[in-house]
Amino acid sequence: MAAPANSPTRSDAAETVEDATGPGRFGRLRRWLPKSVLGRHALLALVGLVVLVLVLEATPPFANSQFATMSYYAIAAAGLTVLTGLNGQISLGHGALMAVGAYTTGLLLTPDGLPLVVVMVIAAVVTALVGVVVGAAASRLHGPYLAGATLAFAIAVPGLAIYFHDFLGGEQGMQITAPRPPAWFSDAVYFLSANETSGVKFLAYVGWVTALLVLLLLANLCSSRVGRVWRAVRDDEVAAELAGIKLGRVRVLAFTVSAACAGLAGAVLGVVVRLAAPSGFTIVLSIGLLTAVVVGGLGSLTGALLGSALLVFLPPAITDVGTSIGLDDVQAAQLAPLVYGAVLVLVMLLAPSGAVGIAKRLVPGFGRGRGLRGRSSRDHHSTRRS
């Protein structure tokens, strides 16, 4: 028997349920969010700051040191996301750019010298200038040629520290004086949590506050006209050039922004590790950053965070599993890179969009903004059915 003309069909009922439990819920939540893009990103950064305080005050010193390590990976991976994920330039030289930031910090950060914030800004500026030079030289290169050029840069820069050993410490590296937490900071942390502030915890705060600021700036930059131009160049260079976009200028700008982030990451790395040495900035670091960006989700700042967490927390977990099943320390340490490589291969085969792409498929409304608001429920339902 045919249904009455005015009775709801099965698909209409499904759409009604979906609106009540899925996108509609996110729509009601969005009404409470700030209208501007900057306001929404600032709110996310504020939430991240609250989470940062809760996590660092609830975890032991070893976990604090892991989070401090993750902070400089996150900063560098976020900058590489802009370069590779949004602008389409493959770089294997970000470890060398981090070395520039770390050595600049080591030269300028003295007990009676400039404040840490000023030193970090100078490190970012110096690395950005290096990025201008490298980006201008590589702006006409594509694909494997660009990767080869940045690879040569990554190999050459650590060698400079060995060549100028009297000035940069040679293979032993340059010792960096870690700053002590100011009294007002320790008092504020004690007021909020009744916990003392150790040097490791203070450096974790420094790293993650810097990471949140970088993510806030990059998120707004990617949402602006500059970000749309980067995506246009990545998607179709010919069409972008016909539209009047200067490809070389756009590529150099992306490389400069990414280099500044790498310089900041190198500065945080220097104060956390308290050492800037050539062995810490090998090609392995650059490949690890690129792997983190791919595994987390190419072109996503959230993916950069997820990939950085994988870089920091997966190897120790795999090493512990290896020792628990009877392997010695050397064998367990060698097991971690094997598992990490297997994870990378599986992600590339099964989830090319990375961890963020998996989250978008599993969590309704994850990563969707105004694009979902502008579509009707019937369009959304039809898309899901197809």
Read off the pLDDT of residues 46-77 as tens digits, 9 standing for 90 and up: 999 999 999 999 999 999 999 999 999 999 99
Query: Could you give the CA distance from residue 14 to residue 231 in angstroms, rounded to a whole number?
Result: 36
Can you give the pLDDT at residue 324?
84
Q: Report, as an integer, the average pLDDT of 261-288.
A: 91
Given its phi and psi angles, is residue 245 left (phi above 0), alpha (psi -120 to 50 degrees) or beta?
A: beta
Cα of 252 vs its chain's centroid, Å: 20
Q: Which amino acid makes up residue 187?
A: D
Can you give the pLDDT at residue 66?
93
Query: Could you give the CA distance from residue 299 to residue 88 in angstroms, rounded to a whole number?
Result: 9
- DSSP letters along 107-148, please? HH--TTSS-HHHHHHHHHHHHHHHHHHHHHHHTT--HHHHHH
Higher pLDDT, 84 or 23: 84
Higher pLDDT, 230 or 25: 230
Can you give the pLDDT at residue 209?
95
Q: How many CA atoms are closer than 13 Å to the CA of 49, on its beta-carbon side?
A: 14
Structural tokens at position 379: 């369009």
Angle between helices 283-296 and 354-362 (to 10 degrees): 20
With 0-12 / 13-18 / 19 or more C-beta atoms within 10 angstroms meaning exposed / middle / buried, residue 2 is: exposed
pLDDT > 50? residue 230: yes
Q: Report, as an integer, the average pLDDT of 316-333.
A: 81
Q: What is the band of 327 on the pLDDT scale with cuts at 50, 70, 90?
A: confident
pLDDT > 90? residue 204: yes
Provide, for the chain, the percentages of residues in helix, strand and coil under a 3-state DSSP scheme, each rounded to the nearest 5: 75, 0, 20
Can you give the pLDDT at residue 22?
46
Q: Express each pLDDT in 9-42 by its tens digit.
A: 444 444 433 444 444 554 565 666 777 778 888 8
* Three-class DSSP category at 275: strand
Burial 177-190 (b: 16+ CB within 10 A, else e): ebbebeeeebeebe
Q: What is the band of 267 on the pLDDT scale with cuts at 50, 70, 90?
A: very high
- Please, what is the average pLDDT of the chain? 81
Scan for tokens 């062995």, then name that residue: 279
Q: Express each pLDDT in 148-167 by its tens digit.
A: 888 888 888 888 888 888 88
Query: Could you give the CA distance from residue 57 to residue 342 in angstroms, rounded to a whole number?
Result: 34
Can you give the pLDDT at residue 32?
67
CB 90 within 8 A of CB 143: yes
Q: Express each pLDDT in 367-383 by its tens digit.
A: 554 433 333 333 333 33
DSSP 365: T
- Choose the weakest-confidence range: 17-26, 244-253, 303-312: 17-26
Phi, psi at residue 276, to the nearest 5°? -120, 105
Can you give the pLDDT at residue 246?
86
- Choose the weakest-confidence range: 96-105, 301-310, 324-333: 324-333
Scan for tokens 């028997």, then name that residue: 1
Q: Report, as an integer, the average pLDDT of 311-317.
A: 86
pLDDT > 50? residue 291: yes
